[in-house]
Structure 1
Amino acid sequence: MKSINGLLGAMTLVLAGAASAADDWYLGVTAGYYDLDGERAISEDHNSVTAGVQVGKYLSDTLAVELGYGANAGHDDFDVLSLNGLLWLNNSDASHWRPYVLFGLNQYDFQDASNLVLEHDDRSTQIMMGVGMGTRFSHGLEFRADLRGMLGHDEDGEDMGVQFSLNKVFGSKSVAPAPAPAAAPVVAQAIPEPEVEAEPEPEPEVRTITVRLNVEFEVNKDTVLAVYGDQLEAIAAAMKAHDDIDLVLEGHSDSRGADQYNLSLSDRRAKAVKAKLVEVYGIPAARISAVGYGETKPIASNETEEGRARNRRVVGEMSFSEVYNF
């Protein structure tokens, strides 16, 4: 047991160093289940249950080192000491479940195995690697569960195991400086400080926001093209945010064709845009008016193709006020 006592002394030194560190540290209890290599097993079924303690220190938000000690529960067959590094695989909120990886060393001590003559050294060391999941509860309680694989050389064997850990995490606490000795009271005449007038609160700024709609059409068509979806969505959002404002849609045409036909075509175009706002964006029909003006209000020359394309249109406009506080 001298070697185990020495390892427990090392654990005590780690605990003392962790307690004085500026970062978080933790102290916990563990329960493990080991499936030992056949040549190293104490019992015939190669299985062993351990209970132990561990102490660790966080070097950063995602990296910690820990020293753990465990003993075969219910027997006095062997003890195991582990020195591990623990790396959390993400830096999310510790109260959520987070994956982690383990890497380090395990040292077994079989000196107390009194019921069986072992065919290997009383003490052996293995490389340990593992993966697990953990989370932190309230009051600094941290729970972890991991799967571990231990690999030695020659007779040190290959073992597998699972371990559950429940840790209490302690945060660093700054020590308040000792109060300075009280000085002898000095009697002095108080000098009144000049009164400073409070600055007046700035007046909120009112801005007028205008949302415009301009939908152009193909020759002799009243189909609303999909390219104007962004404009329709913007005008619909403004109407939903300001349900006290109605919208007037004005339809227009170029000068080709009879006056009466153009008047009817411009009216159909305005009603097509209205139907889109009602059916696709859920705007009440009663809040939208549609009127056609035919070719009477051109905005460009009807002598060119470009000008006629600009005149084949439905326009609408909404204006409302927004208050900005600074």
Structure 2
Amino acid sequence: MKLKNTLGAVIGSFVAASSMGVMAQGQGAVEVEGFVNEYFTDSSRNFAHDEGSQYGGSIGYFLTKDVELALAYGEYHSLNGDKALGNKDIKGNMTDLKALYHFGEPGPGLRPYVSGGFAHQSISNVDAGGRDHSTFATAGAGAKYYFTEMLYARAGVDALYNIDQGETEWQAGVGVGLNFGGSKPVVAAVVEPEPAPVVEEPAEIVRVELDVKFDFDKSKVKEDSYGDIKNLADFMNQYPQTTTTVEGHTDSVGTDAYNQTLSEKRADAVRDVLVNQYGVGGERVNAVGYGESQPVADNATAEGRAINRRVEASVEAEAK
């Protein structure tokens, strides 16, 4: 009864501990377990019955996320001697050290395992006194089911080869345990590369200039100037956001008032060609006259005066 109460308290402690914050499995984790084994002796060491129970506990350490090194201790109950002179109530214990390899990934769910190691057994009263000591090589297999990261149940079978006696015995058992203190593999965060800064190329400024020459005292656009005017019109139609001011000029021959009027007529004539012949919107073309006030050449020569009889215009735009 005392043993049952103790085992119940241990299981209750496991359940209570599992309600704490979730612990990570993996390398560095520690497992503690309480277990019950059914021991099948199957040997010639004078047991009255060929089986008995073993109660104990173990502690294990995960060298990697899959490999655990575990130390266990258990005491036998319900083993009876067969000698007439012996005490039929056999007392004893077993201590074993083994390595377990787990399959699958850490976390809730099923993890089968295989194991192997060595054990030392000490039992009493087999031959009416004294103790029997045996060394075993062990091999086993089983599975653990993790209800959470922390709480698990286990079932397994072990073959026990008695190196001293040359005989094989068996045990099958169940256990309940806790896994805590480990660390899961760190998953590298995926860092999205920063988008490369968009370097805007400086806008290219394109420019068209117009320089239309006029005969002396005339405001009629000459035929050989139409091509230049068309170039300006085509540019403005390509860039419909542009506007321009057509500027008329004269040489210095004549009065200021006459030359002012003549310069305005020359500017209007060029504007008329842009708007009425080449389709530039009238609201985009302004015309202004400056008379003889802005010469670009020497009015004292015929060549200079020919250069000053002119209409000028320019248009700029950002090329796309």
Provide TM-score, normalisation by structure 2.
Answer: 0.42
Q: Compare CA radii of gyration and give the structure with the larger one.
A: 2
Provide TM-score, normalisation by structure 1.
Answer: 0.42
